[in-house]
Structure 1
Amino acid sequence: SPLLSLNCQEPPVLPEPMRTFLRRIPVRTIFDSHPEDGVSAIAISQDAKYLVTISAATRVCVWKWTLPTEKPMCSTELRPEFGCQDYVIFNPQNSYEFVSNSKTQVIFYLGWREGVLCYLEGLGTFNTVVGQFSQSIFHFNNSQALTGTSAGKLVVWDTVSPSTPSKELRVKPHGMKATKLVPVQKDSLTVLMVFESCIVTGDVKGQVKFYNGQLQFLTCYTHSEVGPIRSISFSKTPPDVSSACSTSGTASSQPFVARNFILSTSDATVLHVATDRANVEKVMEEVKNAVNAVACHPRQGLVAVGSHCGLLKVWDYQQTKYLVSRIFTEASIQCLSYDPQGYFLAAGFTDGSVYILDAISLHSSCKEFKFSHGPVTHISFSHDSEYLATADEKYSVTVYKRVLRNGSRCWEHLAGLHSHYKPIRSILFGVQLDSNEPRLLSLGEDRQLIEYDLNSSSKDHLVVLHRDRIEQVAVPLCLAWYPQLSTESFILTANNCYKMKLYNTTTKMCR
């Protein structure tokens, strides 16, 4: 994003179930840091004085962020063949040095003079498969750097001094060359970091491994529920060595115990790992695929969000607070709808199933229905919450009804009909003009506007009241009720020729 924000104040703790997830308040915002193509990587120095940003077009900027200026201290343009540098980190022992990498290239930055940022290309020749670069770090011995790869290897970079002084030496005091390639595992490394006196890696299988300064294996933490790791954050509290259950893989008799840490994964999950008990606790889970459905509560400031991964979450958008969630593992959520009273939330899925849920707890109000012949695309309640209608990709409309059974109200399947021969674009409930009874319409790309007779419909028999062709050439795309501004009632349509049309709801004549 072209908007770059710093978060440095101590945050408040959000309520359950967010647990210790932190909200921070920006103390400085740099606008238009990279307005042309956004920020692809960012890091802050150990002393918190300097900030480095890299754009997708490989423009590198160093900022002294406490200064009241919108211009960087220095910047440079990298050569296009370096690729998009998507990771950058400062040397924790020298705030004038940092390293960045793309999938194929590692760049070392050795300070700046008179506003000129000095950098050099990491050089290395390998006689084996290296894989793509993931992340780079500075070794705590202050003379080496490491880069993780998708082939499960660590590239060791070391300083190399030129044999003869030259004019270039004053700009590039030393070079960085790959001196070793260490195969640590077969799985791709996604995270590489230094913590205290350990090298820590995270990989695509959710494993977190610890190595000493000589890259000797110490211990590993893994769990079947953990996906590919994107970041690791350690606790400030030292571990309890007395209760250690993890021992070193080296010859040392002293057990190695890491601090507790939090993982974030590429499947949008945050987990807390208690190393003394080898316990993994899920802190939060977010949407990991596209959001397909959104519905607003009719009477409260709530919004329900459903995604392709089957995660349904309800938020209070006035308090910006997450309330409740439910995960459906069988299929993806396609559409959502609250009933007008706000008691129920209906969800349609890609496997054709329909769930009617309690709007507050998200518990099922009844067993799921599976009467649709394909993925459910539209779902809607009648104004009195007595009917629920769905449309699916097989051009069918299905209706459900609330009935009184054994003294209690429940939902049951009424009927369905293969009413269109092209995709259905809208289903719409309304109210009869001469009564308070609901009326149901559907609109398809076959240019058919169909009204159903709910009163005459019976079990497994959905009656069509009217079938009208409303377009000759254009394809209708959506349908809505026009506001009741007079005694005449209208419906509004829009088509693919950028036209909107008003139709009388009784005669179906275009106004």
Structure 2
Amino acid sequence: CNCRPRARCSDHCVGLLLWVTLTGPLFHRIPVRTIFESHPEDGVGAIAISQDAKYLATISSGTRVCVWKWTSPTEKPMCSTELKPEFGYQDYVIFNPQNPYEFVSNSKTQVIFYLWFLGKGVLCSLECLGTFKSTVGRFSQSVFHFNNLQALTGTSAGKLVVWDTVGPHIPSRELRAKPHSVKAIKLVPIQKDSLTVLKVFESCIVTGDVKGQVKFYDGQLRLLACYSHSKVGSIQSISFSKTPPDPSDSSNSVSLTLNRNFILSTSDATVLHVATDRANFEKVMEEATKAVNAIACHPREALIAVGSHCGLLKVWDYQQHQYLVSRIFPKAGIQCLSYDPKGYFLAAGFTDGSVYILDAISLQSSCKEFKFSWGPVTHISFSHDSEYLATADEKYSVTVYKRVWRNGRRCWEHLAGLHSHYKPIRSILFGVQLDSNKPRLLSLGEDRQLVEYDLNSSSKDHLVVLHRNRVEQIAVPLCLAWYPQLSTESFILTANNCYKMKLYDTTTKMCR
């Protein structure tokens, strides 16, 4: 399930169990089972699958814990229980690899162990006790030890809490839960930095931390190896390859584990491949860490450009589902994007008021960035002949750029700007003059003003207004578009906050 913690999934699903098959260059994911309405009140907050791949454990964003046999056609869980609200939001859950009838979950402040019984419909939660003489920190993830009955939990203080049972490991036949049967027996400080990931992989215990370090320990928590890179952010997940690069290199199981290559994902939305033989960190992919506010489609190719507030610009082939090229702008966030009608340029407007005109294929700058806007750029658009570029910003201004000949080559230069509105600009729109093939430019603001500019008469640092018309009396206009040319008449279409659309004659600006 793609639900984020505390977010609601529209289908309230447990998630899709996916089989991945390779048919050519692309991955095709085939869902084999979907459980709907698993946690309809709160949505799914955490999920785990047992080692034998038969059972699912889910925890709602509230307090309900369920165990499912996903191969069963029923839409009801095999067993469930309600947690006490003081246990906190349980955001991580994992099965005991050696026992599918036992699993553990944790919140930032509480660790809970569970036992469930096949055919009995009973799920017992075992509260954990721990009294510590030093700072523990907040819990991150928990795992079961690979060669004993203990469990471990990583903390933000760089420590591992070791849990063990103080009573019978399996409850009696009456299935009476034994509260307080698990307690912390040891607190092991292993480093100063916060632990974010804790895994058991074969005969090693593996940790990941906020500094991007991955460390391997043996069963006695003795350090075996450490992998780090200065440009790796806080680690969110670790996944190991199935086989070591060369199994013949060592006969020792620990050495074989240490030779496994692995994949990291980090909090800055980066995925890296780590080759253990060379300690080489290779970036596999990078995604946006902040909101995606800008999308533009190429006018001639099956390409889509996506820009985010973290400054990441990516271009995808949406037919082949392939990522093609990206560029990061570290100083500001991307607010708007536009391809020119010929598909040669991609223009981007940024939160710091700067404007970049890029090559549409390589994303390299076609010229030095412009910074003539009064505030963050909100809208950007090319004219139909790719000779003009216009932007609107949060300071109610319109700025125009023009392609010119300079030193025997075509380049872009700043033409002029104008503080043309006194409320936010909702649209800027290029069109074509009726009596010629020259471009015309309009802007629409929440001040109810439709402004048309005279590009022919405009000169360096002087943007001329041709017409200024009030298009609403009470309602607030929200967007502007050209109406399709269905007859000899030409119209502009607007929509307002009163759920109405209006047609205006492009010459007289009168409402049809």
1:149 corresponds to which residue?
A: 155
Q: SS where residue 129 of structure 2 aligns?
A: coil
Write the letter of the residue equivalent to 2:125.
Y
Write the letter of the residue equivalent to 1:106.
V
2:205 corresponds to which residue?
A: 199
Quick check: 1:243–1:276 contact (8 Å CA) kept in 2? Answer: no
**1:8 aligns with one of 9, 14, 19:** 19
User: How many angstroms apart in 2 are the aligned matches of 1:489 and 1:256?
Assistant: 71
Percent identical among aligned pairs is 82
| Residue 37 of structure 1 pairs with residue 42 of structure 2 | yes
Deviation at 1:12, TM superposition (A): 5.4
Cα distance, 1:212–1:23 mapped onto 2, change above 3 Å: farther
Q: SS where residue 450 of structure 1 aligns?
A: strand
| Residue 189 of structure 1 pairs with residue 195 of structure 2 | yes
Write the letter of the residue equivalent to 1:507.
T
Deviation at 1:380, TM superposition (A): 0.4
- 1:112-511 to structure 2, matched below 5 A, reads 112=117, 114-161=120-167, 170-172=176-178, 175-238=181-244, 257-511=258-512
Q: SS where residue 442 of structure 1 aligns?
A: strand
User: How many angstroms apart in 2 are the aligned matches of 1:500 and 1:129?
Assistant: 62
1:80 corresponds to which residue?
A: 85
**1:406-433 CA distance string (max 9 Å, x none):** 4432222221122222221111111112
Write the letter of the residue equivalent to 2:159.
K
Cα distance, 1:432–1:239 mapped onto 2, change above 3 Å: closer
Deviation at 1:178, TM superposition (A): 0.8
Write the letter of the residue equivalent to 1:32.
E
Deviation at 1:284, TM superposition (A): 0.7
Deviation at 1:166, TM superposition (A): 8.7
User: How many angstroms apart in 1 are the aligned matches of 2:25 and 2:45?
Assistant: 29
User: How many angstroms apart in 2 are the aligned matches of 1:177 and 1:469?
Assistant: 73
**1:165-201 CA distance string (max 9 Å, x none):** 9997744499211111112222211100111221111
Cα distance, 1:205–1:316 mapped onto 2, change above 3 Å: same
**2:113 aligns with one of 105, 108, 115:** 108
Quick check: 2:264–2:272 contact (8 Å CA) kept in 1? Answer: yes
Cα distance, 1:318–1:273 mapped onto 2, change above 3 Å: same
**1:54 aligns with one of 56, 59, 64:** 59
Query: TM-score, normalised on structure 1?
Result: 0.91
* Two-structure CA RMSD over aligned residues (Å): 2.5
Deviation at 1:323, TM superposition (A): 2.0
Cα distance, 1:429–1:196 mapped onto 2, change above 3 Å: same
Structure 2 unmatched ranges of 5 or more? 1-8
Write the letter of the residue equivalent to 2:195.
L
Write the letter of the residue equivalent to 1:67.
S
**1:7-62 CA distance string (max 9 Å, x none):** 234445857xxxxxx65432222233223322111111111121111111222221
Quick check: 2:202–2:257 contact (8 Å CA) kept in 1? Answer: no
Mean alpha-carbon deviation: is it higher for 126-135 or for 191-200? Answer: 126-135
Quick check: 1:87–1:100 contact (8 Å CA) kept in 2? Answer: yes
Quick check: 1:13–1:23 contact (8 Å CA) kept in 2? Answer: no
User: How many angstroms apart in 2 are the aligned matches of 1:478 and 1:221?
Assistant: 52
Quick check: 2:233–2:268 contact (8 Å CA) kept in 1? Answer: yes
Q: SS where residue 25 of structure 1 aligns?
A: strand
Quick check: 1:11–1:25 contact (8 Å CA) kept in 2? Answer: no
User: How many angstroms apart in 2 are the aligned matches of 1:408 and 1:56?
Assistant: 60
Quick check: 2:204–2:257 contact (8 Å CA) kept in 1? Answer: no
Cα distance, 1:272–1:411 mapped onto 2, change above 3 Å: same
**1:97 aligns with one of 90, 96, 102:** 102
Cα distance, 1:169–1:382 mapped onto 2, change above 3 Å: closer
Write the letter of the residue equivalent to 1:442.
S
Q: SS where residue 471 of structure 1 aligns?
A: coil
**1:385-441 CA distance string (max 9 Å, x none):** 111101112222111112233443222222112222222111111111211111101
> Size of the alignment, in residue pairs?
496
Structure 1 unmatched ranges of 5 or more? 16-21, 245-251
Cα distance, 1:231–1:369 mapped onto 2, change above 3 Å: same
Mean alpha-carbon deviation: is it higher for 232-241 or for 85-94? Answer: 232-241
1:19 corresponds to which residue?
A: none
Query: TM-score, normalised on structure 2?
Result: 0.91
Write the letter of the residue equivalent to 1:88.
V
Mean alpha-carbon deviation: is it higher for 92-101 or for 473-482? Answer: 473-482
Mean alpha-carbon deviation: is it higher for 205-214 or for 468-477? Answer: 468-477
Write the letter of the residue equivalent to 2:487.
S
